[in-house]
């Protein structure tokens, strides 16, 4: 039975992220394969480190969507209609690319897939996720507990199926369809009875300063750098997130082990300055 961790790379920046992610997964001694879906916009040189790590690289195309759909979900239109108000998306973020991750349902050579966004790190072995049903995802919690009812598509469990993929395409490109958070909003709608993963399986970086009581290095399995990316230089929250950024850099640069016990605790809420 074949299992795989899958991520999506759409440019050189996310190739850097995927390299750190792959290194972190390999450090956990996983039994799963590591698969990189990448678009034609990624230069071969940027993919070299992933090949060296033994990842399987699969070239994917954008989904066959209507011109009207693509226009509605172009960066300027999507962010104009549904702006991000809690954090800043980097300039290389291209919303339409996000839908390419649905291609993983075409990978029917695998029994089960765990998708992880390229801006994440795996800090502990998470092979048990392959035992979870489709569709399982963690909640989109980083500011308030009320958001536990919303999923975050940075980590989810899927079962590849050509029938499911066909059904997704039909549901995705409906007349006047507008998916405010692209694949995330779509998947939440397509799988309305989604199964909840523990928040520790997709710990969003803003929890570090917004909900520090929820952030515990002893339990976090996957750390997800939503909004600003750890490889960006001088982004607005660099100082607030410095311990998390330092951890990402250590893994990206090839450290052999992670000693989470040496990492600092989150700041007290009163010490956080936005």
Task: Name the nearest CA neighbour of 96 among 214, 31, 8, 160.
Answer: 8
* pLDDT-derived band at 199, boundaries 50, 70, 90: very high
Expressed as residue numbers, the domain containing 138 is: 3-271
Instruction: Give per-residue pLDDT as tens, 14-52.
Output: 999 999 999 999 999 999 999 999 999 899 999 999 999
**Sheet (strand 203-204) strand order:** 120-122, 222-224, 203-204
Q: Dmax over Cα atoms in the chain, in whole Å?
A: 53
Q: What is the helix (H) or strand (E) element at residue 27, kind and residue range?
A: helix 12-27
pTM of this prediction? 0.91
Number of structural domains the chain divides into? 1
Backbone phi and psi for residue 77, each to the nearest 5 degrees, phi listed first: -75, -45
Q: State the pLDDT at residue 273.
A: 46
pLDDT classification of 238: cutoffs 50, 70, 90: very high
Integer angstrom CA distances of residue 228 from 126, 205, 221, 237, 250: 25, 9, 20, 8, 18
Per-residue pLDDT at 162 exceeds 60:
yes
pLDDT at residue 80 in the model: 52
Q: What is the pLDDT of residue 94?
A: 73
Q: What is the mean pLDDT of the chain?
A: 91
Tell me what pLDDT residue 69 has. Answer: 87
Peptide bond into 156 cis (omega under 30): no
CATH number at residue 132: 3.90.550.10
pLDDT (tens digit per residue) in 103-160: 999 999 999 999 999 999 999 999 999 999 999 999 999 998 888 999 999 999 999 9
């Amino acid at each position: 039975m074949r299992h795989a961790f899958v991520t999506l790379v759409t440019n050189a920046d996310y190739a850097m992220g995927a390299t750190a992610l792959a290194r972190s997964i390999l450090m956990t001694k996983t039994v799963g394969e590591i698969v990189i879906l990448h678009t034609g916009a990624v230069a071969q040189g940027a993919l070299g480190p992933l090949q060296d790590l033994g990842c399987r690289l699969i070239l994917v195309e954008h989904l066959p969507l209507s011109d009207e759909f693509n226009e509605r979900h172009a960066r300027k239109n999507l962010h104009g209609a549904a702006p991000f108000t809690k954090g800043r998306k980097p300039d290389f973020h291209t919303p339409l690319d996000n839908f390419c991750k649905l291609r993983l349902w075409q990978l029917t050579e695998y029994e089960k897939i765990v998708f992880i966004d390229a801006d994440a790190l795996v800090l502990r072995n998470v092979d048990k996720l392959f035992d979870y049903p489709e569709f399982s995802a963690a909640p989109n919690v980083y500011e308030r507990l009320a958001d536990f009812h919303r999923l975050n598509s940075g980590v989810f469990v899927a079962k590849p199926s050509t029938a499911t993929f066909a059904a997704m395409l039909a549901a995705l490109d409906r007349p006047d369809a507008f998916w405010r958070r692209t694949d995330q909003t779509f998947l939440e709608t397509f799988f309305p009875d989604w199964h909840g993963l523990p928040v520790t399986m997709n710990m969003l970086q803003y929890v570090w300063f917004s909900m520090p009581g929820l952030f515990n290095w002893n339990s976090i399995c996957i750390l997800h750098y939503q909004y600003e990316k750890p490889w960006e230089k001088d982004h607005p929250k660099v100082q607030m997130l410095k311990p998390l950024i330092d951890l990402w850099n250590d893994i990206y640069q090839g450290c052999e082990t992670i000693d989470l016990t040496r990492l600092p605790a989150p700041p007290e809420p009163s010490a956080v300055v936005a």
